[in-house]
Amino acid sequence: MSRRLTHTLGSLGQEILLVVVILALFAFVGVYNPRFLSENNLTSIFVGNAYIAVAAIGMSLVIISGNIDVSIGALIGVLAVISGLLVTNGYPIWVAWLAPLVVGAAINAVVGCLIAYARVPSIIATLAMLSILSGGLITFTGGQWISGLPAGYQLAQFRLLNVPSPVWFMIGMTILAGFLMRYTTFGRSVYAVGSNPEAARASGISYKATVVKVFAIHGAIGGVAAVLFATQLQVIQSTTPVGLELVIITASVVGGVSILGGVGTVFGSTLAAILFAAIGSSLIFLNVSAYWLRAVQGILILATVLADMARRRRTG
Amino acid sequence: MTAMTRILIRHEFILGILFVIVLFAMASQNDRFLTTANLLNQARLMTEVGLIAIPMTFVIVTGGIDLSVGSILGLCAILLGVFWQNLGLPLPAAIGLSLAAGTAAGFANGLIVTRFRVPPLIATLATLALYRGLAEGISQARSVRGYPDWFAVLGRGDFLGIPTQLWLFALVAAVGIFVLRFTTFGRTTYAIGNNEAAAEFSGLPVVRTKLLIYTASGFISALAAIVFVSRVSTTRSDMGSGIELEVITAVVLGGTSIFGGRGMVIGTLIGLCLMQILQNGLSLSGVRGDGTTVVIGAVLIVAVLISNLLSRFSSD
């Protein structure tokens, strides 16, 4: 009980720390260059990166369950193209919005089965999926962008109460997933499987079923991320940003999800995704070359991982 | 022990048969396939992946993994160009410094894994981002060209009728086979992979062995970078991205257990050749480069499935 309390406090600490860092960053860059805080820039930070925060929610579930997924970037690319092809081939818009969720869940359920039933380590299964999905995508599309999207399809450009829809999705899905993880049997079984698979099995939790469900949910959330990614511009690029999966994993880990599984919340990962987006944008306003962005991300993930290990050793 | 050798022989036997079948299938498909010129050229193309696969076999036998090899390759390629062109150092000195940088990068991986006890998967995923980020930041998307003619001998020249880098590869492979099979160091490597705690309690130098292996992985990745730059006579910051997938596929296909404790360099070599002729044969029959990455991903999953199946039979 007290252990869980320390864990809760520990992960909460990470979230408070992230909020402080985000506010400090906004204040610092805002003072240096006031245009950083303009509504335009803030909107572009949130709208352009909300899909990363959404995908990081699913990734957090995967990492809490003691696994990893390096294929999520490629999956988002594939699902975005599927959505675009459906809508440009005359299917109703709602089909194009929902199909990525279903296909994403189906693809990742297969991956989950490989991991849970065929005992393929998640890193190997998802590395292979990364290769299959990204190779298949380029072969299939020939690198061409999809244009001629019908009006009303651009979900990510909608606004509600003058707040862009991706922000609503980001907040709504974070709360939903937070609720799922905190208050449902399923959520608890994910933590149990991640912190001690043997003990989980002994207490009647099916390791295999839990892992397959986690991956299926992760795939469906990836579908939502793909729709947000696909509908933010007037065209759909057939490639996702290089290293997208790393940004998503980094958001989860920096958000306080322990790399060893069993610990973490989805709130932290959303905050971390916001922090990354802000860092990326602030480099431009601080006149630092954007080519350093990945190095900054690398340092951040390394520092967080080392801090996580140090904290674990201290608390035992 | 004899049971283990039997499985290894069986896995390699199956692999050998598969190799011959693929060889004949490819040869019957295309006249250009089974020519000395084509095979030597394929061997040349295979060298960079092959070089890195040798230390990767050691890494995976210890139960670890090194995902950062492609990023180390990219970083060292960039550093070679920067040292030579931007700092005006003589090319041999630039090569030496670049090799030193790769060794240091590998050593850093080893330190993070052994001293801070970060799981290798996460440690090298973090340095994958960091090293690639450094390569991008340092290069600022500029490529370096115009290397002197003598440098091209390594990557494009021949020695005694055989591609120069193949001699280098043969040397590294021979050292790998010898060390893993016939030395105390090799036996310690297996011991760590079978049961790290037991190895530690038996007084084996676990930390030093792992540190050396990750350092060697960095050094050989740098060596592969030199060969790569010499072959294509240009440096770009995205060099070697995704190469870790091919390397790991070759090693796992070669019968090395991803869970550690089992595997041989010979197997890796067969796995490597099988993958290369598969890729070559496919591209000769009109499948494009991106299509072959799909095949590699599928082969990786099948390889692990077969290896799991074999080990399940042997444990019964």
Query: Is the ipTM here above 0.90?
Result: no
Collapsing DSSP to helix, strand or coil, A163 comes out as strand
* A289–B297 C-beta distance less than 8 A: no
Separation in Å, CA of A137 to nearest CA in chain B: 9
User: How many structural domains are present in chain A?
Assistant: 1
Q: Which of B68, B71, B136, B275 has the most A C-beta neighbours within 10 Å, making it the best mutation to test the interface with A?
A: B136
Domain that holds residue B264: 44-273+290-302
Quote the CA–CA distance of B22 and B279 in Å, as a whole number. Answer: 11
The CATH number assigned to the domain holding B252 equals 1.10.3470
Locate A295 and state its tokens: 């190095």
* A127–B130 C-beta distance less than 8 A: no
Residues of A in contact with B127 (CB under 8 A): 298, 302
Chain A residue whose CA is closest to B140: A291
Cα A78 to the chain's mean position, in Å?
16
User: Bridge partners of A146?
Assistant: A236
Separation in Å, CA of B129 to nearest CA in chain A: 5
Q: HSE (CB half, 13 Å, CA atoms) of B103?
A: 7
| For helices B243-253 and B36-61, angle between their N-to-C axes, nearest 10 degrees | 80
User: Bridge partners of B179?
Assistant: none
Q: How does pLDDT run along chain A (316 residues), one tens digit per residue?
A: 445 555 555 555 677 778 888 888 888 888 888 888 877 888 888 888 888 889 999 998 898 888 889 899 899 999 999 988 888 888 887 888 888 999 999 999 999 999 988 888 888 889 889 888 888 888 887 777 877 777 777 777 777 787 788 888 888 888 888 888 888 888 888 888 888 877 877 787 888 888 999 999 999 999 999 999 888 877 778 777 777 888 888 888 877 777 676 677 778 888 888 888 888 888 877 777 778 888 887 888 788 778 777 776 766 5
Output the pLDDT for position B219: 96
Cα B9 to the chain's mean position, in Å?
22
Are the C-beta atoms of B173 and B73 separated by less than 8 Å? Answer: no
* A292–B137 C-beta distance less than 8 A: yes
- DSSP at A144: P
Output the pLDDT for position A68: 87
Please check whether residue B315 touches A, CB under 8 A: no
Separation in Å, CA of A309 to nearest CA in chain B: 7
Residue B117 lies in a domain: yes
User: How many structural domains are present in chain B?
Assistant: 1
Which of B177, B52, B175 lies closest to B124, judged by CA?
Answer: B52
Which of B130, B238, B300 minimises the CB distance to A295?
B130
| Contact residues, B window 6-65, toward A, CB-based 8 Å cutoff | 65
Residue B262 lies in a domain: yes
Chain B residue whose CA is closest to A311: B116
User: Bridge partners of B144?
Assistant: B235
Q: DSSP letters along B91-110, please? A: HHHHHHHHHHHHHHHHHHHH
Separation in Å, CA of A150 to nearest CA in chain B: 30
Residues of A in contact with B137 (CB under 8 A): 289, 291-292, 294-295
Separation in Å, CA of B117 to nearest CA in chain A: 7
Chain B residue whose CA is closest to A70: B125
Chain A residue whose CA is closest to B300: A128
Quote the CA–CA distance of A98 and A96 in Å, as a whole number. Answer: 6
Q: How does pLDDT run along chain B (316 residues), one tens digit per residue?
A: 456 556 555 677 777 777 888 888 877 877 777 777 778 888 888 889 999 999 999 999 999 999 899 999 999 999 998 888 888 888 888 899 999 999 999 999 999 999 888 888 888 988 998 999 899 888 887 888 878 877 777 777 778 877 888 888 999 999 999 999 899 898 899 989 888 888 888 888 889 999 999 999 999 999 999 999 988 878 888 888 878 888 988 898 888 888 888 888 988 998 898 888 888 877 777 777 677 788 888 888 887 887 777 766 655 4
Residues of B in contact with A301 (CB under 8 A): 125-126, 129-130
Chain B residue whose CA is closest to A292: B137
Output the pLDDT for position A272: 84
The CATH number assigned to the domain holding A121 equals 1.10.3470
Please check whether residue B238 touches A, CB under 8 A: yes
Locate B73 and state its tokens: 């390759």
Locate A152 and state its tokens: 């009303």
Please check whether residue B310 touches A, CB under 8 A: no
Which of A138, A253, A291 minimises the CB distance to B137?
A291
Q: DSSP letters along B63-90, please? A: T---TTHHHHHHHHHHHHHIIIIIS---
Quote the CA–CA distance of B189 and B279 in Å, as a whole number. Answer: 31
Separation in Å, CA of A310 to nearest CA in chain B: 8
Q: DSSP letters along A277-304, please? A: HHHHHHHHHTT--GGGHHHHHHHHHHHH
Q: Which residues contact B143 (CB under 8 A, 6 or more apart)?
A: B81, B234, B235, B236
Domain that holds residue A208: 2-315
Output the pLDDT for position B316: 44
Separation in Å, CA of B102 to nearest CA in chain A: 17
| Contact residues, B window 116-135, toward A, CB-based 8 Å cutoff | 116-119, 121-123, 125-134
| For helices B265-284 and B164-182, angle between their N-to-C axes, nearest 10 degrees | 150
Q: DSSP letters along A189-219, please? A: HHHHHHH-HHHHHHTT--HHHHHHHHHHHHH
Collapsing DSSP to helix, strand or coil, B159 comes out as strand
Rounded to the nearest 10°, the torsion over CA B61, B64, B70, B72 is -110
Q: Give the Cβ contact number of residue A42 at 10 Å.
A: 14
Exposure string of B165-181, with b = 16+ CB inside 10 Å and e = fewer, is: bbebbeebbeebbebbe
Residues of B in contact with A135 (CB under 8 A): 290-294, 296-297
Which of B136, B245, B259 minimises the CB distance to A127?
B245
Report the length, in residues, of chain B: 316
Residues of A in contact with B112 (CB under 8 A): 302, 306
Separation in Å, CA of B164 to nearest CA in chain A: 30
Question: A234-237 contacts: CB < 8 A, separation 24 or more?
Answer: A234/A147, A234/A149, A234/A154, A235/A145, A235/A146, A235/A147, A235/A149, A236/A80, A236/A81, A236/A83, A236/A84, A236/A145, A236/A146, A236/A147, A236/A149, A237/A80, A237/A145
| Total beta-carbon pairs less than 8 A apart between chain A and chain B | 132
Output the pLDDT for position B10: 63
